[in-house]
Amino acid sequence: MTASDLPEVIHSELIHRTPVFDVVGARLRFPDGREVDRAVVEHPGAVAIVALDAQGRWLLVTQYRHPARQRLLEIPAGTLEPSEDPDATAHRELREEIGYAAGALERIGGAWMAPGFTSEYIHYYIATDLRHDPLDGDEDEDLSEPIPMTLDELLQAIDRGEIEDAKTLVAVTLFQRHARRSGLIDT
Protein backbone atom coordinates (compact mmCIF):
# COMPACT_ATOMS: atom_id res chain seq x y z
CA MET A 1 0.00 0.00 0.00
CA THR A 2 1.30 3.43 -0.92
CA ALA A 3 0.30 6.92 0.15
CA SER A 4 -1.54 7.30 -3.18
CA ASP A 5 -3.89 4.47 -2.08
CA LEU A 6 -5.02 6.46 0.96
CA PRO A 7 -7.82 9.03 0.98
CA GLU A 8 -7.06 12.75 1.18
CA VAL A 9 -8.44 14.65 4.18
CA ILE A 10 -10.35 17.55 2.63
CA HIS A 11 -11.64 19.04 5.84
CA SER A 12 -11.38 18.27 9.54
CA GLU A 13 -13.01 19.94 12.54
CA LEU A 14 -13.35 19.41 16.27
CA ILE A 15 -16.91 18.38 17.13
CA HIS A 16 -16.57 17.73 20.87
CA ARG A 17 -13.76 17.82 23.44
CA THR A 18 -13.64 15.76 26.66
CA PRO A 19 -10.89 15.40 29.27
CA VAL A 20 -9.78 12.08 27.73
CA PHE A 21 -10.57 12.26 24.00
CA ASP A 22 -11.84 14.50 21.20
CA VAL A 23 -14.46 13.75 18.58
CA VAL A 24 -13.33 15.02 15.18
CA GLY A 25 -15.35 15.17 11.99
CA ALA A 26 -13.57 14.76 8.67
CA ARG A 27 -14.41 14.80 4.98
CA LEU A 28 -12.27 12.37 2.95
CA ARG A 29 -11.69 12.01 -0.80
CA PHE A 30 -10.68 8.54 -1.97
CA PRO A 31 -8.37 8.06 -4.98
CA ASP A 32 -11.39 7.17 -7.14
CA GLY A 33 -12.95 10.59 -6.37
CA ARG A 34 -15.61 9.45 -3.87
CA GLU A 35 -16.07 11.73 -0.88
CA VAL A 36 -17.24 10.49 2.52
CA ASP A 37 -17.72 11.90 6.01
CA ARG A 38 -16.18 10.26 9.06
CA ALA A 39 -16.35 10.94 12.79
CA VAL A 40 -13.35 9.79 14.81
CA VAL A 41 -12.83 9.51 18.53
CA GLU A 42 -9.24 10.79 18.80
CA HIS A 43 -7.70 8.95 21.74
CA PRO A 44 -4.17 9.47 23.12
CA GLY A 45 -3.51 5.72 23.34
CA ALA A 46 -3.25 3.34 26.25
CA VAL A 47 -1.36 0.48 27.82
CA ALA A 48 -2.50 -2.91 29.08
CA ILE A 49 -0.40 -5.09 31.31
CA VAL A 50 -0.17 -8.83 31.92
CA ALA A 51 1.02 -8.59 35.53
CA LEU A 52 2.44 -11.94 36.68
CA ASP A 53 2.93 -12.64 40.37
CA ALA A 54 5.72 -14.84 41.77
CA GLN A 55 3.61 -17.97 41.07
CA GLY A 56 3.06 -16.95 37.43
CA ARG A 57 -0.58 -16.02 38.00
CA TRP A 58 -2.17 -13.12 36.15
CA LEU A 59 -3.36 -10.28 38.41
CA LEU A 60 -6.71 -9.02 37.17
CA VAL A 61 -9.19 -6.48 38.50
CA THR A 62 -12.88 -5.86 38.15
CA GLN A 63 -13.91 -2.38 37.16
CA TYR A 64 -17.29 -0.80 36.51
CA ARG A 65 -17.51 0.10 32.82
CA HIS A 66 -20.49 2.34 32.21
CA PRO A 67 -20.92 1.66 28.45
CA ALA A 68 -21.21 -2.07 29.30
CA ARG A 69 -23.36 -1.26 32.39
CA GLN A 70 -21.43 -3.85 34.41
CA ARG A 71 -18.18 -4.66 36.16
CA LEU A 72 -15.72 -6.31 33.82
CA LEU A 73 -12.91 -8.67 34.77
CA GLU A 74 -9.81 -7.34 33.03
CA ILE A 75 -6.07 -6.81 33.12
CA PRO A 76 -4.66 -3.54 34.48
CA ALA A 77 -4.65 -0.78 31.88
CA GLY A 78 -4.70 2.97 31.46
CA THR A 79 -4.50 5.96 29.19
CA LEU A 80 -1.28 7.70 28.19
CA GLU A 81 -0.83 11.20 29.57
CA PRO A 82 0.19 13.90 27.03
CA SER A 83 3.72 13.19 25.75
CA GLU A 84 4.08 10.24 28.16
CA ASP A 85 6.12 7.25 27.00
CA PRO A 86 4.06 4.03 27.01
CA ASP A 87 6.65 2.30 29.23
CA ALA A 88 6.21 5.05 31.86
CA THR A 89 2.43 4.75 31.57
CA ALA A 90 2.63 0.99 32.14
CA HIS A 91 4.76 1.43 35.26
CA ARG A 92 2.38 4.10 36.63
CA GLU A 93 -0.82 2.22 35.85
CA LEU A 94 0.44 -0.97 37.51
CA ARG A 95 1.04 0.93 40.73
CA GLU A 96 -2.32 2.75 40.52
CA GLU A 97 -4.48 -0.21 39.53
CA ILE A 98 -3.01 -3.17 41.42
CA GLY A 99 -0.58 -1.54 43.85
CA TYR A 100 2.58 -3.18 42.50
CA ALA A 101 5.69 -1.92 40.76
CA ALA A 102 7.39 -4.10 38.15
CA GLY A 103 11.04 -5.08 38.41
CA ALA A 104 10.84 -6.13 34.76
CA LEU A 105 8.55 -4.80 32.05
CA GLU A 106 8.55 -6.13 28.48
CA ARG A 107 6.48 -4.91 25.54
CA ILE A 108 4.82 -7.82 23.72
CA GLY A 109 2.80 -6.05 21.03
CA GLY A 110 0.01 -3.65 20.32
CA ALA A 111 -3.46 -3.40 18.79
CA TRP A 112 -5.94 -0.89 17.39
CA MET A 113 -9.02 -1.38 19.56
CA ALA A 114 -11.84 -0.25 17.26
CA PRO A 115 -10.30 1.42 14.18
CA GLY A 116 -13.69 1.94 12.59
CA PHE A 117 -14.34 4.89 14.90
CA THR A 118 -11.42 5.49 17.28
CA SER A 119 -7.68 6.09 17.04
CA GLU A 120 -7.08 4.24 20.32
CA TYR A 121 -3.97 2.05 20.11
CA ILE A 122 -3.03 -0.11 23.10
CA HIS A 123 0.56 -1.10 23.89
CA TYR A 124 0.76 -4.50 25.65
CA TYR A 125 3.29 -5.46 28.31
CA ILE A 126 4.27 -8.31 30.58
CA ALA A 127 5.25 -7.18 34.08
CA THR A 128 7.20 -9.48 36.40
CA ASP A 129 9.27 -9.28 39.58
CA LEU A 130 6.43 -7.40 41.27
CA ARG A 131 6.82 -5.62 44.60
CA HIS A 132 4.15 -3.85 46.65
CA ASP A 133 4.40 -0.10 45.85
CA PRO A 134 0.94 1.45 45.45
CA LEU A 135 0.04 4.86 44.03
CA ASP A 136 -3.31 6.54 44.54
CA GLY A 137 -5.66 5.62 41.71
CA ASP A 138 -7.79 7.90 39.59
CA GLU A 139 -10.88 9.31 41.32
CA ASP A 140 -13.20 8.16 38.54
CA GLU A 141 -12.18 4.49 38.76
CA ASP A 142 -13.88 1.78 40.81
CA LEU A 143 -11.37 -1.08 40.93
CA SER A 144 -11.38 -4.30 42.94
CA GLU A 145 -8.38 -5.71 44.73
CA PRO A 146 -6.15 -7.78 42.41
CA ILE A 147 -7.59 -11.19 41.53
CA PRO A 148 -4.91 -13.82 40.83
CA MET A 149 -5.67 -16.38 38.10
CA THR A 150 -3.56 -19.01 36.39
CA LEU A 151 -3.60 -18.93 32.61
CA ASP A 152 -5.78 -22.07 32.64
CA GLU A 153 -8.26 -20.42 35.04
CA LEU A 154 -8.30 -17.32 32.86
CA LEU A 155 -8.99 -19.38 29.72
CA GLN A 156 -11.81 -21.19 31.53
CA ALA A 157 -13.26 -17.82 32.59
CA ILE A 158 -13.18 -16.75 28.93
CA ASP A 159 -14.96 -19.97 27.92
CA ARG A 160 -17.65 -19.31 30.54
CA GLY A 161 -18.15 -15.75 29.28
CA GLU A 162 -16.80 -14.22 32.49
CA ILE A 163 -14.11 -12.28 30.61
CA GLU A 164 -15.44 -10.26 27.69
CA ASP A 165 -13.08 -7.29 27.82
CA ALA A 166 -11.40 -6.93 24.41
CA LYS A 167 -8.03 -5.72 25.69
CA THR A 168 -7.79 -8.76 27.98
CA LEU A 169 -8.73 -11.13 25.16
CA VAL A 170 -6.04 -9.58 22.94
CA ALA A 171 -3.54 -9.87 25.81
CA VAL A 172 -4.11 -13.63 26.01
CA THR A 173 -3.21 -14.05 22.34
CA LEU A 174 -0.13 -11.81 22.54
CA PHE A 175 1.01 -13.48 25.78
CA GLN A 176 0.65 -17.01 24.38
CA ARG A 177 2.53 -16.11 21.20
CA HIS A 178 5.29 -14.42 23.23
CA ALA A 179 5.50 -17.36 25.64
CA ARG A 180 5.79 -19.85 22.76
CA ARG A 181 8.57 -17.84 21.09
CA SER A 182 10.36 -17.52 24.43
CA GLY A 183 9.98 -21.23 25.24
CA LEU A 184 7.90 -20.53 28.36
CA ILE A 185 5.03 -22.72 27.10
CA ASP A 186 4.86 -25.36 24.39
CA THR A 187 1.18 -25.36 23.47
**Catalytic entry in 139, 145, 153, 162:** 139
Collapsing DSSP states into helix, strand and coil, what is residue 91? helix
Question: For residue 43, which of 112, 129, 89 has the smallest C-alpha distance?
Answer: 112
Domain 46-182: state its class: alpha beta
Q: Residue 139 catalytic?
A: yes
pTM for the full predicted model: 0.91
User: Euclidean distance between the first and final Cα of the chain, in Å?
Assistant: 35
Q: What is the mean pLDDT of the chain?
A: 92
Q: Are 166 and 65 in contact (CB under 8 A)?
A: no
Task: Dump pLDDT digits (tens) for 21-44.
Answer: 999 999 999 999 999 999 999 999
Cα-only R_g, the chain: 19
Q: How far is CA 168 from the centre of its chain?
A: 8
pLDDT single digits (tens) 115-172: 999 999 999 999 999 999 987 766 666 667 899 999 999 999 999 999 999 999 999 9
Domain ranges of the chain: 3-42, 46-182
CA 77, 75, 171, 159 dihedral sign is: negative
Q: For 59-83, what is the mean pLDDT?
A: 94
pLDDT at 15: 96
